[in-house]
Chains A and B, each alone.
Chain A
Amino acid sequence: MTFLINNFVELTVTGLVLGAVYGLVALGYTLVYGVLQLINFAHSEVWMFGSFAAVWVTVALGVGPGAGVLTAIGVLLLALVAAMAVSGGVALLLERVAYRRLIRLDAPKLVALISAIGASFALAEIMGLRDRIAEWVGLRETLDPYVRSARDNTRFINPLETQGVFTIGPYTVSNVDIIIIVSAILMMVALDQFIRRTRTGRGIRAVAQDSEAAALMGVNRNRIIRATFFVGGVMAGAAALLYLMRFGVTRWNAGFLLGVKAFTAAVLGGIGNVRGALLGGFVLGLAENYGSALIGSEWRDVVAFLLLVVILLFRPTGLLGESLGRARA
């Protein structure tokens, strides 16, 4: 208990940072669920590919921590774009390979889940075997900095040096903390506006409400589904870079636990609800941090899952309710 009180500020800030990442990944689950009522199990791999894209950009540019602030920001922006593009691309590929045929056949949800599980395995293994694949194509030497130690942790060298900005009590909030929390909120607002104001956003809401009626009204359902996957993927890409800035390593199988947590966040906030995703992420991040401070960090994941179970039992539609289509948001 004293540990919690003494470190309250630090736990809160790191909890919010973690929650921001959960929330951005949760968006992918929430969007796809809102439109298709499917648990997109392979979304964690979309995130994982984005994280590797961000790492590879910094490796390719060879920028270390010594660079100037402007260079660092430039590199980070490039990494962000690369991560978003790769994640968006993988999400589109996923839709094409694992989902499109099943959606067209109107197959049972369970079958789509199995297909997504298969895709999740395959994508993770492709990343874990990238050294073998490179060897196979004969590019092992050229690609060495990218495929070396395919099964180990891959480090991300953050070109931006971590600096304290201001101090609350005993904890100094760093620039990285601020960047992560602020950009997550900004992206969430942008997505909210996108869904609320643009044509595609209106299409997404229409398909989420009633996909058949939407199709009759001239909405191209397949295009909307692709757009949904792509937007979810882009958000996961952004989450990947933010995650790396704070935690610094990624791994071919890092997606799994993060994916489960992010899905938990989505359910917490009310799956299908875009604003709920960020709220759920923050709540989950904070609860994990406070909980592990109270009863020991080895119980961190138990706290997360217990929170989920309790919320679902007493408020089965999540904190904000499920409403990609219904609400104005």
Chain B
Amino acid sequence: MTQGKASPDTEPAASRSMAWGPRLGWDRGVLARLVTRLPRPVKWVLIALLVVLLYALPLLEIPIISTPDTDFGAVLFTVASYVLVALGLNVVLGYAGLLDLGYVGFYAVGAYTVAVLGSYQAQLSWWLLIPLAVVITTISGVLLGAPTLRVRGDYLAIVTLGFGEIIRLTALNTPWLGEAKGITGVPRPPSVELFELPHLEWEGATAFVDLDDTTTFLSFGVADQAPYYWLALTVIFLVLGADRMLRLSRIGRAWEATREDEDAAELMGVPTFKFKLLAFASGAFIGGLSGALFASRQGFINPESFQLLLSILFVAAVVVGGAGNRWGVILGAIVVAYLPERFRGFEEWRLLVFGVALILLANFRPQGLIPPRRARRAQKADEELEALEEGADRV
């Protein structure tokens, strides 16, 4: 079982030291043990500080991190929406083990629901559109999953890829959905303009408060994108909470069993098809939510925004980070979304570098940047078994 914050007290001490051996433990072991040893109030303060830091990120404009070539708030929103998508895909791919190469389809359904019903065919209120988008996407997930999930693993990949393309091409060719010219005037989230927040200005290592450069708290406009980032971040926290509850519940265990051995799970009385469908629907839910946020930030969508390539980037984010571990997946999404934006100055070369980076990561860190604890334990157990077998040979 992977758990968000390390809580080793649920495991016997022996297995803990095994899983966090010095060889594999660089990413979590030391840090996790340090954090768990802290008294509870200190932990809460640390978490609160981290959350505040995350929210303040667009205002701080920290020199090396922030992007020189594009609006940092916009980049942060892009990263946040990738994180959201990756969390959704992680449910499908990481927890239930279903390779979905058409995940962008759900993203598109969510975005198109908001755009079509908010601007093109009807003018519903934003507060109604978001739940509507999520519901429609979830239904589409079930409709799509019901026939395709009976197909075996590798074929599922190509069937979902096909469906992702069908969704995009349908939007491209249907007059009711705006065809290639897309849909403009997608409703933005309603603004409540409360107060101004100043940004920081950096000169070398010293920071000044720049009163000329301010962000109006919760004004969802075109120029300043920081409020969209705050919205997306809030949604991420909500999704993380739900994700944790799902994963630790009976459903999460059923997913894990299905992923590891479908036949065995079925024999133990897990209705695997039902749970796979549930994973698909949950993934679609999150994907649709993310797409809806994307559309209302963008204000304009067309089928070009939902290329097949995006699905592949999403899968790359999940696998690079470590499918099944949500912190890993978040890191993967940040890598995939942030690095190309940060190095936009090298526009021409960035995809080449990205491709090479993917090859290197896959070859030298095949479990992902932060692998699920289960995977590390399994690897350790394998090695021990092998050692035992070799020992038996020698006797």
Point out residues on A near B: beta carbons under 8 Å. Answer: 33, 37, 39, 97-98, 101-102, 105, 107-115, 117-126, 129, 132, 256, 260, 263-264, 267, 271, 296, 298-299, 301-302, 305-306, 308-309, 312-313, 316
| Interface SS of A by simple majority | helix
Assuming A115-B359, A118-B355, A121-B352, is B165 touching A305 (CB within 8 A)?
yes
B2 to chain A, nearest CB (A): 16
Q: Does B151 contact A (CB under 8 A)?
A: yes
* Residue contact B162 to A264, C-beta cutoff 8 Å: yes
Q: Does B155 contact A (CB under 8 A)?
A: yes
Q: How far is the CA of A65 from the CA of B120 in the complex (A)?
A: 51
Identity of the chain B residue whose Cβ is nearest the Cβ of A298 in the assembled complex: B173
Q: Does B170 contact A (CB under 8 A)?
A: yes
Q: 6 tightest A-B contacts by CB?
A: A118-B358, A121-B355, A122-B355, A305-B162, A115-B362, A125-B352
A7 to chain B, nearest CB (A): 21
CB-CB under 8 A from A124, the residues of chain B are: 355
B276 to chain A, nearest CB (A): 16
B314 to chain A, nearest CB (A): 11
Identity of the chain A residue whose Cβ is nearest the Cβ of B313 in the assembled complex: A117
* With A115-B359, A302-B166 already in contact, 13 other A-B pairs whose C-beta atoms are closer than 8 Å: A110-B93, A110-B323, A115-B358, A117-B312, A119-B355, A122-B355, A123-B355, A129-B352, A132-B349, A260-B308, A301-B165, A305-B165, A316-B152
A307 to chain B, nearest CB (A): 9
Q: Does B6 contact A (CB under 8 A)?
A: no
28 contacts between A and B (CB under 8 A): A39-B158, A98-B359, A102-B366, A108-B366, A109-B154, A110-B99, A113-B319, A114-B319, A114-B361, A115-B362, A117-B316, A117-B358, A118-B357, A122-B355, A124-B355, A132-B348, A260-B161, A267-B158, A271-B154, A298-B169, A299-B173, A301-B169, A305-B162, A305-B166, A306-B166, A309-B148, A309-B162, A313-B148
CB-CB under 8 A from A264, the residues of chain B are: 158, 162
Q: How far is the CA of A105 from the CA of B320 in the complex (A)?
A: 17
Q: Does B257 contact A (CB under 8 A)?
A: no
CB-CB under 8 A from A39, the residues of chain B are: 154, 157-158
Q: How far is the CA of A129 from the CA of B93 in the complex (A)?
A: 34
Identity of the chain B residue whose Cβ is nearest the Cβ of A119 in the assembled complex: B359
A131 to chain B, nearest CB (A): 10
* Residue contact B366 to A120, C-beta cutoff 8 Å: no
* Residue contact A121 to B148, C-beta cutoff 8 Å: no
B342 to chain A, nearest CB (A): 18
Q: How far is the CA of A122 from the CA of B352 in the complex (A)?
A: 5
Which of B165, B315, B359 is A122 in contact with, Cβ under 8 Å? Answer: B359
* Residue contact A309 to B355, C-beta cutoff 8 Å: no
CB-CB under 8 A from A299, the residues of chain B are: 169, 173
CB-CB under 8 A from A101, the residues of chain B are: 363
CB-CB under 8 A from B246, the residues of chain A are: none
Q: Does B351 contact A (CB under 8 A)?
A: yes
Assuming A105-B366, A114-B320, A305-B163, is B359 touching A37 (CB within 8 A)?
no
Q: Mark B304-321, 1 if CB is under 8 A from A, else 0.
A: 000011001001100110
Contact size range, B:
35 or more
* Residue contact B319 to A111, C-beta cutoff 8 Å: yes
Q: How far is the CA of A225 from the CA of B57 in the complex (A)?
A: 49
- Of B148, B354, B359, which is in contact with the most chain A CB atoms at under 10 Å from its CB? B359
* Residue contact A97 to B147, C-beta cutoff 8 Å: no
* Residue contact B151 to A110, C-beta cutoff 8 Å: no
* Residue contact B358 to A114, C-beta cutoff 8 Å: yes
CB-CB under 8 A from A37, the residues of chain B are: 154
* Residue contact B161 to A129, C-beta cutoff 8 Å: no
Q: Mark B337-378, 1 if CB is under 8 A from A, else 0.
A: 000000000001101101111111111001000000000000
CB-CB under 8 A from B99, the residues of chain A are: 110, 113
Identity of the chain B residue whose Cβ is nearest the Cβ of A112 in the assembled complex: B362
Which of A105, A113, A120, A312 is B355 in contact with, Cβ under 8 Å? Answer: A120
CB-CB under 8 A from B235, the residues of chain A are: none
B180 to chain A, nearest CB (A): 9
Q: How far is the CA of A74 from the CA of B122 in the complex (A)?
A: 63
- Of A97, A105, A111, A121, which is in contact with the most chain B CB atoms at under 10 Å from its CB? A121
Q: Does B239 contact A (CB under 8 A)?
A: no
Which of B159, B161, B173, B362 is A118 in contact with, Cβ under 8 Å? Answer: B362
Which of A102, A109, A113, A132 is B363 in contact with, Cβ under 8 Å? Answer: A102
Identity of the chain B residue whose Cβ is nearest the Cβ of A33 in the assembled complex: B154
Which of B151, B161, B348 is A313 in contact with, Cβ under 8 Å? Answer: B151
B321 to chain A, nearest CB (A): 11
Q: Does B172 contact A (CB under 8 A)?
A: yes
B133 to chain A, nearest CB (A): 23
B103 to chain A, nearest CB (A): 14
CB-CB under 8 A from B159, the residues of chain A are: 308-309, 312
CB-CB under 8 A from B161, the residues of chain A are: 260
CB-CB under 8 A from A105, the residues of chain B are: 366
Identity of the chain A residue whose Cβ is nearest the Cβ of B173 in the assembled complex: A298
Identity of the chain B residue whose Cβ is nearest the Cβ of A307 in the assembled complex: B162
* Residue contact A308 to B359, C-beta cutoff 8 Å: no
CB-CB under 8 A from B173, the residues of chain A are: 296, 298-299, 302
Q: How far is the CA of A37 from the CA of B152 in the complex (A)?
A: 13
Q: How far is the CA of A101 from the CA of B360 in the complex (A)?
A: 11
Identity of the chain A residue whose Cβ is nearest the Cβ of B157 in the assembled complex: A39
* Residue contact A309 to B352, C-beta cutoff 8 Å: no
Q: How far is the CA of A313 from the CA of B359 in the complex (A)?
A: 33
A167 to chain B, nearest CB (A): 34
